[in-house]
Structure 1
Amino acid sequence: MPSSVVVVIVVVALLVTLLIASLKVVREYERLVVFRLGRLRGALGPGLVVMLPFFDRSVRVDQRVVTLTIPPQEVITRDNVTARVNAVVMFKVCDPVRSVMAVENHAVATSQFAQTTLRSVVGRADLDTLLAHRADLNEDLYRSIAQQAVPWGVDVDVVEIKDVEIPEMMQRAMARQAEAERERRAKVISAHGELEASEELRDAARTLSEAPAALQLRYLQTLLELGADQNSTVVFPLPMDIIGPLMGALDRFSAGAGSTAEHPTSTVPSARNGMSVVDDRAEGHPR
């Protein structure tokens, strides 16, 4: 084979190799930040990108959303409670050139700044705010991290506190506090119920006092309810206005019988308790 043909084959092979080396395929969600002899050319892509071999250098930047988990941080809250807090940050690169030129590694920088901001924001809040008003803390975290990440060409989408771990002793104290609060509410509700019931009973008593016939019907209804249970003892309530004159007559009879000493031993029925009082002085017994 002639030497000229060999040379042509070698040259063609070198050209094909250089052409293949100069072609880059960039995906839709990627960009190539190209430097030619150290000078910035810009962000190229997506699609087929032509570069000069040995002269151009490129950095591939992914523009998809990145989910970054912040490791648990030991934080002392404003009320001196130790807590372990972790969070999640979602961000994406909005400016590929600045993400390469402004910071060495935008993902690491965002992670480190998010950890520092998390400790700072949680340290300014107390434990109740950390547990009950987590949305406000998330908003503070988002504003701080997003503002710092703008010069790096990073757009922060979401910052959320993921989990809060508190000491076991504090958990037991919070459980006792919640139990005491529930008991307090139960007592308050019971007291309000008794107050309302007493008001209703007062109104019912006023209504019954204005209608004596209604009171008698209430007595009969009570007796009917007692008899329905087959009780051996029946309690029959009598109003004081009925038994009052009878008690007075019995008292007068008792006083009159006690003043007479005709019999040596006298027995006087008591109107109060239904028992007999025996006068032993007539028998000559000492008291």
Structure 2
Amino acid sequence: MVQLIKLQDYVSRYEMGIYQYPSQFIRLKKEKWSKMQQMFEQGLWETDREEPVEIEPIPTKGISQFFKKNKSVETDDKKVQEVEKMDIPKTVDELKHHFLDGLFPFQLKWATTTLREKSFVDDYYRHDDKLTRLLQRIPDTYFLMYHPIVELRKAKMEAETILIGPSGIEIIHELNFPAGTRIHPTSEKSWYAEHEGKSSRFLTPIITLKRTESYVKSVLGSYQLDFPYRLVILAPELTIQGASSRFQTDYIDRERYEGWLQEKRKISSPLKHTQLKAAEALLKHCQTTSVRRPEWDMEKEIMEE
């Protein structure tokens, strides 16, 4: 599960400690999965209880707070009670899906708060299918910057999604059209989308990708970081007609999507120093909007950590 290190202009723990939090996240995830798998194998999972059966506590409590059936989520300083009815997972695959769904609020928390600061999160991101799909299907040795607000030539702009892997960076634009749409790229400023016999014209995504490329290239150059990058047109449910990977741009439609993911899962490389340096540099040139957390909130967070 890829690590969400920046979301829009929200404050992120990774900004405070890019050399600390990635390894901590991986460790916490492994611990929680081991405990959940143990419960499943021993038949300790129950649905008639308010919470799952408790077993030996995990040394770090933070992540476990997000796997309760009844949980409180703090939104704009208000406690909103979310009551979730969870079925008993019948297979290991179902258990994995359940685990990943439960991990998402924890990732969102780390991407929008630190021990002393917090940002007010648009509720849209809690239900963003594109975000959760990327998070759940890419390994945790990758870092994700999801539409960050960045600084380029002293101006602010919303960048495309940036995926930072052990061996390079991918700058991603995901096309937003109904499933089954055929996309016809051209060398001009306009591309064409064909769906149910109707054709429409839209501005080529290469333009916005190039803007984000300028930001990435500028930041890496400023820190003398030799780290490769590519542009990606992502369309998991669409067909891209007549496009081939060229000019450092990859076209990933529904025929290539699973292979694109599989390539990332095959990489067994751990986090790389250059990868961390690149993430640190890019985060330094992002905008952050946050407020100080109340003392009682900070104390609660410290206890959970």
Scaled by the length of structure 2, the TM-score of the pair is 0.16
Which structure is higher in helix share? 1
Higher relative contact order (CA 8 A, sep 6+): 2
* Structure with larger Rg: 1
Scaled by the length of structure 1, the TM-score of the pair is 0.17
